Amino acid sequence: MNNANFPDHFIESLANAPGFDAENFAKAHQDQPSPTTIRVNPYKKHTIYKGVQVPWCADAIYLDQRPSFTFDPLFHAGCYYVQEASSMFIAHIMQHIREDDEDSIKVLDLCAAPGGKSTLLSSALNTDDLLVANEIIKTRVPILTDNLTKWGPSNIIATNNDPKDFSRLKNFFDVVLVDAPCSGSGMFRKDPDAMNEWSEGNVNLCHQRQERILADVFPSIAADGYLIYSTCSYSVAENETILDWLCEEFGMESIRIPINKEWGIVETQSETHKAHGYRFYPGKVQGEGLFAACLRKTGNNSGGVSNYKAKNAQKPDYKSIDLLKPYIKDADNYYYFKVNEDWLAIDRIHRDALAMIQQHLYIKKSGIRLGALAGKDLIPDHELAMSLILNKDTVLQTELTREQAIAYLRRDNIPDLELTKKGWSLMNFEGQVLGWAKLLPNRINNYYPKEMRILSESRAKNQE
């Protein structure tokens, strides 16, 4: 690829971008394919693939080749997430800002779909921490909630709101990640079609949108709380210029993140306030284009809602809750509540935060959906099967071969499956849960969610 293949004026627009090397950049796009990386789920550890570790993320590895993830049952079990390597630098930032912090925190991923950075953040959090994963675009929410369900933790709430809605939650979040909509130049190698969308005019529009999003969400950051800002753009206007604006407009303080020189990351500083930023260029790092920075909010917590207590919570239905508890590990650690006919559970420590969020935001997923009670029997939900809170000792488990697992994930008839017991059963592959089925005397009812089933006809046709 030569410069002529890039959009008009693109290379010229980056002439003053820190660390930009036009020749090296063009060569990387021409000669070096985008690497394939996966991040292992620390809650569902399993020997999956072998590879070289991504230097800034302990759970991630580079693969020698791209397998057919769609036809790997462990992918559907949530044992790993396929994610671009550079974007996992967010894990390194989180590790740094939490080094000496043992207090529980509330974290917001503002622009969360499809869920890569949300599951990344989830892996960095403790049970007492809370993650709110928000997606602005309604049609992108289902893929976000599906990926969060597969990941398994119960301390996650997914919402579908505009950034301005979060201004009602003043001083609420200790960390806010804004992976901002941008002009997308960092994805040119991975997605060449992105070049058709790039223009200098679009860069300016993105800059204005980024300022609006950040201004809208800023009130929700607690005093001394952190903003992690990232884009997949190389443009100074969407990166260092935004850092200067944050420092100027809101008095934010730049946080320098330690990096290893061998990683190939370019450390930059904004022109006016010398705020630290981190640039990833293909050809210098083994990954795609990224800009990331971390800033801290200064000021006080006056007018905050962090100490909110639930006043109008549901009265506990102890009789029903007692029927649910046998299915849950450490069952007394959870708050149980109903949404329509379904019972849900979230870590008890997050009850008041959930009530506060319910008051101000549109929630799409909260904690773990357990299922509906029919008399004294639980009709279990897929979320419960995939969760970390399920007490597996209380339910049947059926181990599947790879062929059987693929058939189950397609919702096809499962070949050569011997039925010796009856009732609700987890369907497992290599000990990892895929979902539920109900075993009947002469057949099984497959309860794998229709919207999540494998649709690809063959492995040969499948290209992730």
Which domains does the chain carry?
3-296 (3.40.50.150), 308-394 (no CATH), 398-464 (3.10.450.720)
Q: Is the pLDDT of residue 121 over 60?
A: yes
Q: What does R_g of the chain's alpha carbons equal in angstroms?
A: 23
What local confidence, expressed as pLDDT, does residue 5 receive? 84
Q: What is the pLDDT of residues 50-77, one digit of tens each?
A: 999 999 999 999 999 999 999 999 999 9
What local confidence, expressed as pLDDT, does residue 442 receive? 85
| Angle at CA of residue 11, ends 284 and 29, nearest 5° | 45
49 or 267: which carries more pLDDT confidence?
Answer: 267
User: Would the annotation count 179 as a binding residue?
Assistant: yes
What local confidence, expressed as pLDDT, does residue 458 receive? 60
Q: Is the pLDDT of residue 166 over 90?
A: yes
Average pLDDT value for residue range 288-317:
75
- Give me the residue label for tokens 């407009």: 249
Q: Is residue 57 annotated as a catalytic residue, yes or no?
A: no
What local confidence, expressed as pLDDT, does residue 460 receive? 39
Q: What is the pLDDT of residues 321-336, one digit of tens each?
A: 999 999 999 999 999 9
* pLDDT confidence bin for 306, thresholds 50/70/90: very low
Q: Is the pLDDT of residue 459 over 90?
A: no
What local confidence, expressed as pLDDT, does residue 45 receive? 82
Average pLDDT value for residue range 274-285:
98
Cβ–Cβ under 8 Å, residues 203 and 150: no
User: Would the annotation count 261 as a binding residue?
Assistant: no
User: Would the annotation count 162 as a binding residue?
Assistant: yes
CA distance 129 to 156: 9
Average pLDDT value for residue range 132-153:
98
CA distance 218 to 239: 17
- Rounded alpha-carbon distances, angstroms, from residue 382 to 162, 218, 328, 389, 434: 28, 35, 14, 13, 9
User: Would the annotation count 299 as a binding residue?
Assistant: no
Q: Is the pLDDT of residue 461 over 70?
A: no
What local confidence, expressed as pLDDT, does residue 464 receive? 36
Comparing 132-136, 358-362, 430-434, 453-457, which segment has the lowest mean pLDDT?
453-457
Q: Is the pLDDT of residue 310 over 80?
A: no
Comparing 2-6, 130-134, 375-379, 416-420, which segment has the lowest mean pLDDT?
2-6
* pLDDT confidence bin for 188, thresholds 50/70/90: very high
Share of the chain above pLDDT 70, in %: 94
Average pLDDT value for residue range 216-237:
98
What local confidence, expressed as pLDDT, does residue 457 receive? 75
Q: Is the pLDDT of residue 101 over 90?
A: no
User: Would the annotation count 115 as a binding residue?
Assistant: yes
**Buried/exposed 208-235: b ≥16 CB within 10 Å, e otherwise:** eebbebbbbbbbbbbeebbbbbbbbbbb
In the DSSP assignment, the letter for residue 52 is E
User: Would the annotation count 111 as a binding residue?
Assistant: yes
CA distance 146 to 449: 10
Q: Are strands 80-82 and 36-40 parallel, antiparallel or unpaired?
A: antiparallel
Q: Is the pLDDT of residue 308 over 80?
A: no
User: Would the annotation count 310 as a binding residue?
Assistant: no
Q: Is the pLDDT of residue 99 over 90?
A: no
Average pLDDT value for residue range 422-435:
97
Among the options 79, 232, 247, 294, which is catalytic?
Answer: 232
CA distance 190 to 38: 15
Residues in the chain: 464
Distance of CA 19 to the CA centre of its chain: 29
Q: Is the pLDDT of residue 140 over 80?
A: yes
Compute the mean pLDDT over every residue in the chain, rounded to the nearest whole number: 93
* pLDDT confidence bin for 309, thresholds 50/70/90: low
* pLDDT confidence bin for 456, thresholds 50/70/90: confident
